[in-house]
Structure 1
C-alpha cells in the first residue's frame, strides 16, 4: 500500500498501548530520521495503519499516548469531510477504540 503523505491524528479518551507483535520500520530501512511501530487497523472500512514513533511511545515525542496517527492510501480528512472533534471509530483486530 502506498501511503498518502501525512497522517490523521486521533485523540483518544485513554492511552493506547502498542501490542507486543507490532511491525517495525527502522529509520535505516527507509532513510528516515525516526523508527516507527506499525499496527494494522481499519478506519471507515479501509485498510490503514497506526504509526507510532519510538519517541512518542516513550512519551518524549510530539504526541502523548492518547493520540494515534493513522496512515492510509487516501487523505481521510478530505475524503470523509472530517472536522476537528468528529467521533471516529478505528478497528484494531477485535478491539475498537472511539
Structure 2
C-alpha cells in the first residue's frame, strides 16, 4: 500500500464524510499528456480537520462508469510533492488495477463530474 492508500485507510471517516463514498485504501496513478488544473469549488480536506499536516483537494469524477475522486495534495499541486501536476491519483470503492486487470501504460478515460 502506497502513501495515499495508508492515509485513505486512516482517514476513511473523513473521506467518506467529504465524498459520500467508501474509498478503497489505494489510488490508481494516471499519467496525463498535460498538467491537470484543479477546477474551482473543489472539495477540501484540510489538515486541521484531522489533526494532520497535509491538505488534500478532492475532485469528483468517473472512471469505467464508476463514481470516483481525484485526490491531490497541496504539495503535488504546487510541484513540491512526489507527483507532478500531470499525474492524477484516482480513488474509488474498489482496487481499479485488480478489478479491471490494468497494467502500467494502459489507456483509461476519466470524466470530471460537475
TM-score of the two chains, using structure 1 as the length reference:
0.91
Of residues 92, 103, 112 in structure 2, which corresponds to 1:72?
92
Aligned pair count? Answer: 94
Unaligned runs of 5+ in 2: 1-20
SS in 1 for 2:83: coil
Unaligned runs of 5+ in 1: none
Of residues 43, 62, 73 in structure 2, which corresponds to 1:53?
73
More strand by share: 1
More helix by share: 2
Ranked by relative contact order (alpha carbons within 8 Å, sequence separation 6 or more), the top structure is 1
Q: Deviations over 1:39-60 (max 9, x none)?
A: 0000000000000000000000
Residue number in structure 1 paired with 2:12: none
Residue number in structure 2 paired with 1:44: 64
CA–CA distance in 1 between the matches of 2:94 and 2:52?
A: 21
TM-score of the two chains, using structure 2 as the length reference:
0.78
CA–CA distance in 2 between the matches of 1:81 and 1:33?
A: 34
Q: Deviations over 1:10-64 (max 9, x none)?
A: 0000000001111100122234431100000000000000000000000000000
Residue number in structure 1 paired with 2:46: 26
